[in-house]
């Protein structure tokens, strides 16, 4: 199963088991934050481990950026390929949501020891994720069954 499909399946399961009961109890998603490995949509505040660029460069998944560019990166009349590529993929702070990577949060930690600890933890988790991606990519090359639409 493709990692995004598995993630969605688990998210739906967790939604049914944990979020729906909270909603029934009166807790609003506006009072919650969403944390994910990469940048999601549909939440008014979220935090993520991998930026889209990390997702492309560290774990061999250029598809999210390709989708964003194809859908949202509309060239202006004076844009060149270079000026278009230099523009951000999306506005991370807007009227619908605010998004921050863990690297953004890391910069806000003033205590050097704590910042170093969390920098090492972020690097450790990224390496774990990268090794999972390597296994996934090797499986793809070997012809493993996948739900991916990017074949």
Is 52 in the same domain as 89?
A: yes
In a domain, 150, yes or no: no
Query: What pLDDT, on a 0 to 100 scale, did the predictor assign at position 80?
Result: 93
Q: What residues in the chain have per-residue pLDDT under 70?
A: 1-12, 15-16, 19-20, 23, 29, 39-42, 146-151
| Residue-range definition of the domain harbouring residue 1 | 1-30
Q: Give the chain's domain count.
A: 2
Query: What pLDDT, on a 0 to 100 scale, did the predictor assign at position 1?
Result: 45
Q: Which pairs from 103-108 meet CB under 8 Å and 24+ separation?
A: 103/51, 105/47
């Amino acid at each position: 199963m493709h990692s995004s499909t598995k993630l969605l399946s688990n998210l739906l399961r967790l939604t049914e088991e944990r979020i729906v009961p909270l909603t029934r109890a009166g807790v609003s998603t506006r009072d919650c934050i969403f944390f994910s490995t990469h940048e999601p949509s549909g939440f008014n505040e979220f935090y993520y481990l991998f930026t889209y660029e990390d997702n492309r460069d560290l774990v061999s998944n250029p598809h999210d950026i390709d989708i964003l560019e194809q859908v949202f990166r509309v060239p202006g009349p004076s844009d060149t390929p270079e000026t278009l590529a230099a523009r951000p993929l999306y506005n991370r702070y807007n009227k619908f949501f605010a998004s921050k990577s863990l690297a953004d949060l890391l910069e806000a930690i003033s205590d050097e020891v704590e910042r170093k600890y969390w920098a090492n933890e972020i690097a450790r988790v990224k390496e774990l994720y990268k090794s999972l991606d390597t296994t996934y990519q090797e499986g793809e090359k070997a012809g493993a069954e996948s739900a991916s639409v990017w074949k």
